[in-house]
Chain A
Amino acid sequence: MSTPPIPARPGFLALELDGDGAHPAAWRKARHTPAELLDGTRIRATVLAAESAGFHVATFADGAVPGGTGITGQLNALQRAAFAGPVTSSIIVVPEVDTVYTEPFHVSTQLASLDYVSGGRAGWLVAASDSAADAAAVGRQTVSGAGLGREAADSIEVSRRLWDSWEDDAVIRDVATGRYLDVDKLHYVDFEGGGGFESGADAVGATYSVKGPSIIPRPLQGQLPVVVPAGLLASGRPSAGATDALLVSAPTPDLLAAEVAEARSALAATAGGAPAVIAELDVVLDARGQAAEGRLAELNAHTPWESTRARFVGTAPELIELLTTLLETADGVRLHPAVLDVDLEELAQLVLPSLRRRGVLAPVQPDTTFRQLLGLQRPASRYATARHGADSVLAGPAASSTAHQGENND
């Protein structure tokens, strides 16, 4: 057996933690009762298991549940990630957050807050819902095609601007002048956008503006890394630096390696640094003395597994080879285990230790930020840079010149 090539930069592994695993029948093989799925104890147990296994990143899906005879309940992903933040010390927490039926201002505030409660270990997995059910839930129209990309790009841009709207040193606590804030370091973002909704300006939220500044200081990382499924923004209008990592998917493991290589070369010329490439992989391993094929057949007998991702079904050594190969070109691989309770144990005992020994994986260190894991610098606020050129950034609004921040208690 030949020694595999050592990648130029060690890669990382992410684990998707939603539900009981990626397979729609996973709950039947879980080591807890269905009623125990939707609580804090479960979040703590899974994220700690992922962290102690040596995963670098935990992701939390949102939006779609299998339904039918499968799981019909789901906790909000961002709050699961927030709960996971204080109980962990090294794993990066990345919730999926929709951009179509959410308020960009809330999304920005919530993600910035997640960065604080996780000590800078947060990221954002961008989603753009095309679901009619999601649209009906908030009484809005569905969005499709390029409209999804536009909504996503706009929401990302709003968050990016709001995260920069407090310069890093805006809180000055200057007792001599009585100022808690230096207001020259706070900025209105004046975003104008929208247009993903086909019906135009007459629909609720079809076009919108966001004034700013943010209601929370700049996130610990400055900018949270933004992870986007490949292709989502392609037909939109992403501004430079909108994306820090791309999720790349393909129908089979072989095609996945090719897709990753293609994405890598396509991105090579990206101005301002290419986003990281993360390969998406479903995983079914031999476990509990049962072959992976047999486990899969049993699960499929309950509910067929329809997934658009490449699927690995086999032994731990085979998976080690595949991941080693993928990490030669990909910066990271995100694993979607068929059954979390079962496959995670195999991954922890057999797969990750071997990959670490090979030097394929980046070391896991407490308090490493997501930006550091991705090899990204902590950026200066765009407004800090702009301020030296133009002094008009913070021209006051004409109306509503006074206000007391708080709630309406009348």
Chain B
Amino acid sequence: MTDTSIGSGFVPSGQLQLGIFFQGVNSGTIWKSPQSGSQTDFESFRRIAQTAERGLFAAFFLGEGLRLREHLGRPHALDVAGRPDAQTMLAALASVTSHIGLVATQNTTYNDPADLAHRLSTLDLISGGRAAWNVVTTDNAWTGANFRRGGYLDHADRYVHAEAFVETAKRIWDSWEEGAVAASPAAESWSSPGSARPVHHEGQHYSVDYRPKLPRSAQYRPVLFQAGDSPDGRDFAARQADVIFSAHPKFDDALNFRRDIVERTLKAGRGANDVKIMPASEFILAPTPQEAREKKEWVRNLQIGPQQAIAYLEQFWGRELQEFDPDGPLPEIDPVVEETSETRGSGFHGAKARHLADQWRAEAKEKGLTIRQFVSAKTSRVDATFTGSYTEVADRLVDYARTGAVDGFNISPWLIPTGLDDIVNHLVPALQERGVYPTEYAGSTLRENLGLASPVRQDAGVAQEV
């Protein structure tokens, strides 16, 4: 039997939180079904955010990609693409929701700290303390081609830069004293003189000399999410983040990841419970296990069609593979490129293409998988999918809550805008019956609803968690 203890002073909360990740790109979202709604109309976003709020979800999460995905030199045609700006959409959703957290993925490489911190403060204030920032980095010149600076950052420097950026943002959010703004129109001045500290930063890539224009929010400052999985990324999260959007939903992996993060968090001088973990996940649910399995097959067929399966391999082979049968074995021919090129987010950046092809062929042969089956398994992150009846899956999730392997799950629905309906209508009540899911929002801010402590303003700079 697996050892499920975390140790090191970590105390499981026994509770789970749910988030929704409206992806807007890539193959996880089905567009081929008559039930597939618009990816850009506000009504799709409103519908899913309000459903999530009905299900007491802690967070509504939006991604960001600053260049349109390409395939063999042209925009990629086969998957959902084209999505609204995260913060603009979340500002709009703030007006039609009241409790759900609003998480914007925003890049540290192609933003200025003062501007980004100000916009995140704005989102935090207009939502009554519900904003969060998922911190991501980009180093590639391919994305830089859309920006004034172009590609300027080395891969090795990306977290150094990101951390200086986040530290600067925290100082900006720490600038205004509590109660800096007058309580009455009869006051001498609108804000007490000297109550906002200017922020100076001289960095390798930018400098900031700024008098912040916004007070703290109901949750002090935006909550910080981070998704990096490399050792550097994990240490960065352990030092700076409140929540990790992890890639480790499988129970044993989740336990190991938790242990690793607890160690790193303690090493960074923070408490064992200070960093929450919410892995990416997908739920395929039905009244019975058999129906759920059938549903999964339907979902997978629509996510990865024959064209997408071939296109996926073409990314790594660097050439067209149209002559191959998607329902046949992987191509025996070798890739024409030495290294796979920028496949951001998929983890294969810079892989030796021929080596990868050999490995994959062997893997597919061993498991007896066709191209389509192989790609479907690769892209759907099988570990991240919970398939089963409502009660079956709820029972599985109880183990996660009991052990503290995770603090919750960030769910990517495979249908927009109805993809959360069965989760909210069936899974949430099942989790509530098992005592592992909230029956009401703990508070009005995201920090409260995630069970995070409030930062305390520091005399000379960066706020620290208590």
Write the residues of chain A forming the contact surface with B, with a CB cutoff of 8 angstroms.
27-30, 33-35, 37-40, 43-44, 65, 68-76, 78-80, 82-87, 101-106, 109-110, 112-114, 116-119, 133, 136-139, 166, 170-171, 173, 175, 177-183, 186, 194, 204-205, 208-217, 394, 396-410
Contact = CB atoms under 8 A, between A and B. Distances in A.
B323 interface: no
Nearest to B25: A405
22 contacts: A34-B187, A39-B126, A65-B213, A71-B191, A72-B196, A79-B91, A80-B122, A86-B96, A113-B88, A171-B82, A178-B308, A180-B80, A181-B82, A186-B68, A208-B149, A215-B67, A394-B74, A401-B70, A403-B343, A405-B69, A409-B136, A410-B230
A101 B92 contact: no
User: Which 3 residue pairs spanning A and B have beta carbons closest together?
Assistant: A396-B73, A405-B69, A406-B345
B207 interface: yes
Max chain B Cβ within 10 angstroms of own Cβ: one of A86, A87, A410: A410
B83 A216 contact: yes
B342 A402 contact: yes
Given A178-B306, A396-B73, A401-B318, 10 more contacts: A74-B213, A82-B89, A109-B84, A112-B84, A180-B31, A183-B74, A209-B145, A213-B68, A404-B69, A407-B345
A70 B182 CA distance: 11
Given A30-B185, A84-B95, A138 B26 contact: no
B421 interface: no
With a 10 A CB-CB cut-off, give which of A136, A166, A216 has the most chain B CB atoms.
A216
Contact of A401 (B26, B88, B341): B341
B318 A402 contact: yes
B288 interface: no
B339 to A, nearest CB: 11
B65 A33 contact: no
Given A405-B344, A407-B64, A82 B188 contact: no
Contacts of B149: 204-205, 208
Interface stretch (B110-118, B250-258, B402-410): B110-118
B451 interface: no
Contacts of A211: 67, 145-146
A40 B123 CA distance: 9
B359 interface: no
A102 B77 CA distance: 30
B228 interface: yes
Q: Which of B39, B81, B341 has the most CB of A within 10 A?
A: B81
Contacts of A85: 42, 92, 95
A136 B67 contact: no
Contact of A138 (B32, B79, B112, B342): B112
In this complex, the member of B87, B91, B346 whose beta carbon has the largest number of chain A beta carbons within 10 angstroms is B91
Contacts of A136: 208-210
B65 A215 contact: yes
Nearest to A27: B190
B4 interface: no
B454 interface: no
A369 B78 CA distance: 32
- Output the residue of A43, A136, A398 with the most chain B CB within 10 A: A136
A133 B211 contact: yes
B14 interface: no
Interface in B190-232: 190-191, 196, 206-211, 213-215, 227-230
Given A69-B189, A208-B148, A117 B88 contact: yes
Given A101-B112, A410-B229, A410-B230, A405 B213 contact: no
B147 interface: yes
Interface of B: 25-26, 31-32, 36, 39-42, 46, 63-85, 87-89, 91-96, 105, 107, 110-112, 114-115, 118-119, 122-123, 125-128, 134, 136-142, 145-150, 158, 181-191, 196, 206-211, 213-215, 227-230, 233, 247, 305-308, 314-315, 318, 340-347, 349
B-side binding surface: helix, strand, loop or mixed? loop
Contact of A181 (B81, B92, B346, B347): B81
Nearest to B176: A73
A173 B33 CA distance: 10
B146 A117 contact: no
Contact of A82 (B74, B92, B138, B140): B92
A194 B148 contact: yes
A183 B75 contact: yes
A204 B149 CA distance: 6
Given A33-B183, A177-B307, A181-B77, A400 B341 contact: yes
B215 A73 contact: yes
Contacts of B136: 407-409
A83 B92 contact: yes
A138 B74 contact: no
Contacts of A116: 40-42, 84, 89
Contacts of A394: 74
A10 B79 CA distance: 46
B95 A73 contact: no
A403 B341 contact: yes
Contact of B148 (A30, A204, A405, A407): A204
B207 A86 contact: no
Contact of A35 (B87, B182, B227, B342): B182
B1 to A, nearest CB: 32
Nearest to A24: B190
Contacts of B314: 402
A209 B149 CA distance: 9
Given A34-B181, A407-B344, A400 B88 contact: no
Tell which of A72, A85, A113, A208 has the most Cβ of chain B within 10 Å: A72
B348 to A, nearest CB: 9
B146 A212 contact: yes
A402 B340 contact: yes
A117 B75 contact: no
B126 A175 contact: no
Contacts of B206: 138-139, 204
A328 to B, nearest CB: 37
Contact of A404 (B41, B213, B343): B343
A177 B311 CA distance: 13
Nearest to B39: A171
